[in-house]
Chain A
């Protein structure tokens, strides 16, 4: 089966009367790792929520391969291959690591492959295997992030959406998270990652979009963006 591409065109979305995204276009081709960077409140999370069906765009089209995202209920999108690791992880702290993974494997196709997928996840995060019976809420922030990513991987996604996986983690753990993202993409999984850690994310993605106040203000190959003086000044703290 040919891998689907994610294509957004002219997306407008918001919350009630408040518009958070203005005519956003974005494309992620299979096998690519793409970043979305930008300041607080730029609309990065809103963009991922549109892609995983959590909010409906008021205008524009969003497609993942043959699937019309805007016309599909959110809970049916995981079955078409979209997995979203939400902002702040949103693990179930009162469930064990293994139970969190089981929630991630809720859809019928994933249940059938639970043993195989959990082995894959435990192989990716050996720590999770040791902690499979521990309550997720009692783990460190980094471990919880690994668990949240593992939970998303349980459904055998074809695109992984990550919303600030490095937020709130110690620098050494941040490096581990990015290392992991790199590994996942090197295995061929398509990744769309939102980050405020601009310098680090540009090292693991092929391309990136710069979102500011709900608009795409720049896009390009990571190396070009990292070298662009205007981008460096505005979003990389001028270093």
Chain B
């Protein structure tokens, strides 16, 4: 096989892994709380700034900066839930969308005020790996492995812990939960914390690959939501698979045409999917 095509395929899978985390986070929150966090990519942006700030400005070792980003953005998720989402739980979905969309602009504006519009680079890069003329960025590979580890940890949490199982249960039937002694409001907070922590992990993986600036969310936010809808909103496994599909479309698109065109193709594919399967690729 053409090593460049192979490289594109490998990169597509690596990209899919990075898409997967915010998709899982969005789906988790939506499945449980029934509210879309339109500002999800901006939570990631805040996490990226946090890592950049702690590492380059405060001279924290990188691993400590990473370790801080998860609880920090997790806490941000909880605050978002308590301050913005919770008061609107009974409100029409459009109001909830507008509110979390408003937070998007608040976070963008806040980042601009605090950090300015400069592109901030972490300046770390792992050496590339080579295998039979196929070159893969070491940084991307490490990010991919961390993304898979994060997804696996999420899976174990949802599969084996009481609160994780309750999260999967509540996504299907919230009225019945109090009969089992589960306070849905508490589960919402836990899901928001985990959803935020996933954004924090995504931030760690992205900040080593991309320069951070206040509008960075726009470069992966829309595609995150496209993937969520393609996989079926709230469907974790569907979103996970769709993330890899989208990664492959984008990277092979860039291989055959160019990067700009690849996003056009990805978007066209998305439109085709929502016409053909409005409830997602994997809806039964």
Contacts and interface: CB of A to CB of B under 8 A. Distances in A.
Given A93-B172, A94-B172, A99 B177 contact: no
Interface stretch (A31-39, A104-112, A225-233): A104-112
A54 B178 contact: yes
Interface residues on B, range: 10 to 19
Interface string B233-261: 00000000000000000000000000000
Given A52-B179, A75-B182, A75-B183, A103 B172 contact: no
A78 interface: yes
Given A92-B168, A94-B168, A111-B162, A103 B173 contact: no
Nearest to A89: B176
A73 B178 contact: yes
B166 interface: yes
A90 interface: yes
Contact of B165 (A74, A83, A99): A99
Given A76-B181, A103-B169, A90 B162 contact: no
B180 interface: yes
A155 interface: yes
Contacts of A73: 178, 183
A107 B184 CA distance: 13
Interface in A75-93: 75-79, 83-84, 86, 90, 92-93
B178 A102 contact: no
A192 to B, nearest CB: 14
Contacts of B168: 92, 94-95, 99
A214 interface: no
A106 B166 contact: yes
Contacts of B176: 86, 90
Contacts of A103: 162, 165-166, 169, 180, 182
Contacts of B182: 75, 103, 106
A158 interface: no
Contacts of B180: 78, 103-104, 106-107, 151, 155
B177 A95 contact: no
A102 B175 CA distance: 17
Interface in A115-136: none
Interface of B: 162, 165-166, 168-169, 172-173, 175-184
Given A94-B168, A151-B180, 12 more contacts: A52-B178, A54-B175, A54-B178, A75-B178, A83-B179, A92-B172, A94-B172, A95-B169, A99-B165, A99-B169, A103-B169, A106-B181
8 contacts: A74-B178, A74-B179, A78-B181, A94-B172, A103-B165, A103-B182, A106-B182, A107-B181
